[in-house]
Amino acid sequence: MKKPGVFGTLDPFLETGPVLGRKVANTGFLRFLLQADPFESYHFFLSDKPLRDSLSGILASLAPDIAARGGFVLMDRRELPARLATTDYACFHQSDCIINPTHIARLRNAYAPRLFPVTGPIHSLSYPDYPAAFLRHLWAGATPQDCIIATSRAGQNAVEAFFAHLRQAYQLASAPGPSLRRIPLGIDPEAASAPLPTPTAKRDLRRSLGLPDDRALILVLGRISHSSKMDVVPLIRAMARLFDEGVPRDSATLVLAGWAEEDDDFPQSLAGLGAKVGLDVRLELRPGERRKNDLLSACDLFLSIADNPQETFGLTLLEAQAAGLAVIASDYDGYRDLIEHEGTGLLVPTLGPDVPGPDEQRPDDLVDQLAPLLFDNQYHLLLAQRTAVDATGLADALRRLLADPALRQRMGAAGRQRVRDRFLWTQVVDRHLELWDELAALPGPDIATLRHVPHPLHLPYARVFASYPTRTLAPGMRLHAGRSGQALLSGKEHPLLYAGLDQLLDPDTIRKTVFLARNGETAVRLTERLLELCPGLSRDRAAFHILWAVKHDLLQTAEEA
């Protein structure tokens, strides 16, 4: 049974380029939302026609039944005001909470007949321009129906800390903000239900991948970067410690797989460092989806020691557990939500910088000062290098799981079941549907009281640039039909409307504007009469028609007549 209302978004959710967790998550969410098909239709307001044309074909292939009934409507963003005024939207959901949610909320308040949820999830939160993005959420038009969806407890704490910092720094204690809820990301149910390989099939798979079949394989999967994911060097040093303690060097191989630029020699440096301590390191750069799944099936143990605040959730940990692998992970960010310590894997303690108390005076942090001036990889490297994964704890976790295949198997089975119980995309989509119902039912302000509440970070162009033109359209300014306007009224000319103006200019309204001013009229009176003759026309659109008519010589000011 379809839910009443329409799903709206300004995002395509589908991105090309390097395989990143954000892209995988957004694609998975949209795919399983459309598979559930809970809404009457799905409206995508996209920034340009090529993107709309491209997405139209992709959506038709993803959900042919929805496409067949005309359930996908792809529109120009300039159509938003008219659609908001006439469409019963169940929600607007963005692929992130950063870029557009507050702008959608402002338009909703101005045009929609009722409040509806405007939501978006968090992804990476550590960019230095994000305080400005979160500041946009603190404004007089925010309602309980506006919601940021945190994917992890650590991410939720970080968002709360953003708002606490901004409210204190800008003295915004009374400024309303969005609701905050937590829903994790998910994985494809098929990945968690596919049969695991038999020992014989696993051996054959290793041989086909060129991997040894006589030792434990440790898989690290993700961006191979010490500045944006994790520093792998502590893992190599932990293995060196185990080798010095008597663990045979030929007992384990490290499979280092993931994204790296083609001209990046860092992965080779890691392999070289491993060779120096006697660790066999196999590089698998930019594996495709099938190769990635084969690696997950072929290996014995998954390891991820994230140390970078750019990481917020950890989809690869879910993929590893779905493949039946025990996991060693750093006790960091969203990882602790995904791994049950001693149950589905082992969490290794981490150490970060001290945090001053709210009343404690300390010099400004050097990295905080530098971050806005540096490239992303530069400040993230500084942030990550002051976060330590406990070396002893990492070595102990490796020692235990490398020496105990039965423990690995028990943890892997428990992790696979936990993913099935909590982290499938079908379950995640259901939780979003429940959230949108919850938000819609929350008490909120009368939307009529929010109609004319401007967003403080929406630039008031007319006011800011009022000194640029010689004069402005004052209420008492008199206007007359110009030469071209007279020709328009006699049918000798027609308005020339540029592409992109059709949402603001209407040919019939243009003719009425010129007709009403044929004998001369003040701007204020002309506006009032236009509003009477053109139901639904707003004052700003009436002013736009008048100024456009003057620009194209359809109207003249009294001084020009």
Give residue 389's identity as a one-letter amino acid code. V
C-alpha–C-alpha distance, residues 554 and 140, integer Å: 40
C-alpha–C-alpha distance, residues 169 and 260, integer Å: 39
Strands 478-481 and 521-522: antiparallel
- The predicted pLDDT at position 560 comes to 43
C-alpha–C-alpha distance, residues 395 and 279, integer Å: 14
Where would I find the beta strands (DSSP E) of 449-494? 478-481
Same domain for 193 and 181: no
Question: Other C-beta atoms within 10 Å of 114: how many?
Answer: 12
List, in sequence order, every residue forming a beta bridge with 284; answer none if it has no partner: 257
Q: Is residue 252 part of a domain?
A: yes
Same domain for 304 and 176: no
C-alpha–C-alpha distance, residues 131 and 312, integer Å: 17
The full DSSP string for 131-194 is HHHHHTT-STT--TTEEEEESSHHHHHHHHHHHHHHHHHTT-TT----EEEE----B-HHHHHS
Q: Which residues contact 146 (CB under 8 A, 6 or more apart)?
A: 101, 102, 105, 117, 118, 119, 137, 178, 179
Q: Is residue 365 part of a domain?
A: no
C-alpha–C-alpha distance, residues 236 and 267, integer Å: 13
Sign of the alpha-carbon torsion through 120, 124, 128, 131: positive
Sign of the alpha-carbon torsion through 329, 332, 336, 342: positive
CATH number at residue 207: 3.40.50.2000
Question: Other C-beta atoms within 10 Å of 561: how many?
Answer: 12
Classify residue 35 by its DSSP letter.
H
Same domain for 243 and 158: no
Which of 179, 173, 169, 111 is closest to 143 using CA atoms? 179
- The predicted pLDDT at position 499 comes to 85
- The predicted pLDDT at position 559 comes to 58
Residue range of the domain that includes 532: 462-557
Same domain for 205 and 106: no
Across the chain, which has 561 residues, the per-10-residue mean pLDDT values are 89 76 91 96 94 94 96 95 96 96 97 97 95 96 98 96 94 95 97 94 96 96 87 96 96 94 88 95 93 96 95 95 98 96 98 82 82 93 94 97 97 97 97 97 95 94 92 93 91 87 90 93 95 90 94 83 39
Predicted TM-score of the model (pTM): 0.93
- The predicted pLDDT at position 56 comes to 94
Q: Which residues contact 366 (CB under 8 A, 6 or more apart)?
A: none
Give residue 79's identity as a one-letter amino acid code. E
Strands 301-304 and 350-351: unpaired
Same domain for 207 and 173: no
Cβ proximity of 232 and 304 under 8 Å: no
Same domain for 214 and 154: no
Same domain for 290 and 211: yes
Q: Which residues contact 61 (CB under 8 A, 6 or more apart)?
A: none
Cβ proximity of 389 and 305 under 8 Å: yes
Q: Which residues contact 53 (CB under 8 A, 6 or more apart)?
A: none
Cβ proximity of 179 and 147 under 8 Å: yes
Q: Is residue 362 part of a domain?
A: no
Q: Is residue 371 part of a domain?
A: no
Same domain for 489 and 438: no
C-alpha–C-alpha distance, residues 385 and 408, integer Å: 30
- The predicted pLDDT at position 561 comes to 39
∠ CA 313-34-421, rounded to 5°: 45
Alpha helix stretches (DSSP H) within 341-470? 366-370, 376-384, 391-403, 405-422, 425-441, 461-464
Same domain for 514 and 498: yes
Q: Is residue 13 part of a domain?
A: yes
C-alpha–C-alpha distance, residues 557 and 549, integer Å: 11
C-alpha–C-alpha distance, residues 320 and 478, integer Å: 73
CATH number at residue 133: 3.40.50
Q: Is residue 379 part of a domain?
A: no
Q: Which long-range contacts (CB under 8 A, 24 or more apart) does 494-499 make?
A: 495/552, 495/554, 496/552
Q: Is residue 375 part of a domain?
A: no
C-alpha–C-alpha distance, residues 402 and 338, integer Å: 21
Give residue 75's identity as a one-letter amino acid code. M
**Number of domains the chain contains:** 3
C-alpha–C-alpha distance, residues 4 and 38, integer Å: 9
Cβ proximity of 34 and 63 under 8 Å: yes
Same domain for 178 and 266: no
Same domain for 313 and 394: yes
Q: Is residue 300 part of a domain?
A: yes
Same domain for 267 and 119: no
